[in-house]
Amino acid sequence: MTLSQWLISLEGTEAGHQLALILAISAAFLHAVFGAMQKGRHDPWLSRGAIDASYFLMAAPVALFVVPWPEPHMWIIFAGVFIIHTAYKVLQAFAYTKGAYTVVYPVVRGTGPLFTVFGAYLIFGETFNLMQWFGVLVLLCGIFGLAVYNYLYLITDRATLVPALWLALATGLFVALYTTYDAYGIRATADPFTFLAWFFFIDGFAFPILAYLRYRAMTSPPALPPLALRGFIGGLIAFASFGSIMLATRLDKVGEAAILRETSTVFAALIGWLVLKETVGPRRIALMALIALGAVIVEFAG
């Protein structure tokens, strides 16, 4: 039995549900690391361009020579993937350029799951019970509370942060769109690894071009070797993070996977504190606990 056949055999089973849970939590941690890498000491546009170039080059031989080729109906789906993810990354780069990571990231990640739950209902017929909706409310209170706290107490330059928050809100809407759309795409092909390989191959094409144009226009562009190293590491993390959440949405409910992934906000706050040297106090710890509690309620009330 191949790995693809084994995964497909788990769809709709309790074992598949447990694996989807592990994949969603793993994606949460890795996505927070991924976001911090893009917001780190390099320009967000250049960081994202280096990351996309890396996973484009790594995915190309797998897509072209290893996995089965996509079925004819998949090409129109991949066209949608390209458009949606490119728009999402442009909005995210603008948001990170304008605002602090610990404010922008929670707003993006808080908006995404709320709209994903509605999208999963409309497209896949998924529903939450009353207790799960309470868990969603608890999680969102923690996420948006974290953003508001950071905005009120940690940020001094609000002139650029206000447009950053609007950009973060728009980015969150695209998070919901790509989460639901990618779940549709990975379910539309016989082999989930065909979707994953071609997703990274197609998705990694546009942003390196935008990053190159930005790099060329800079008066003092950064050295390329450190940027390339960040791109390589980020590309590996992207494979694990986005690959995990997509497989989780094939194995189990899209809405639950999206909610669990948003515990990434907890990991992001910890990374902001430990790596980016941003302040974390008891109030923020309490808000992070709310996020984790909300995710636990959604999972165990299902």
Helix or strand (DSSP H, E) at 109? helix 101-124
The answer to which of 115-129, 193-207, 210-224 has the lowest mean pLDDT is 115-129
CA distance 30 to 261: 10
CA distance 139 to 171: 19
- Tokens 């911090």 belong to which residue? 36
Return the percentage of the chain with pLDDT > 70, whole number: 92
Q: Give tens-digit pLDDT for 140-195.
A: 888 788 778 777 776 666 667 778 888 888 998 898 899 899 999 999 999 999 99
Are the CB atoms for 46 and 216 separated by under 8 Å?
Answer: no
CA distance 138 to 279: 23
Give, in degrees to the nearest 5, the angle at Cα 182 between 177 and 184. Answer: 100
CA distance 246 to 172: 17
* Per-residue pLDDT band at 34 (split at 50, 70, 90): confident
**pTM, two decimal places:** 0.83
DSSP state at residue 66: T
Residue 276 has pLDDT above 70, yes or no: no
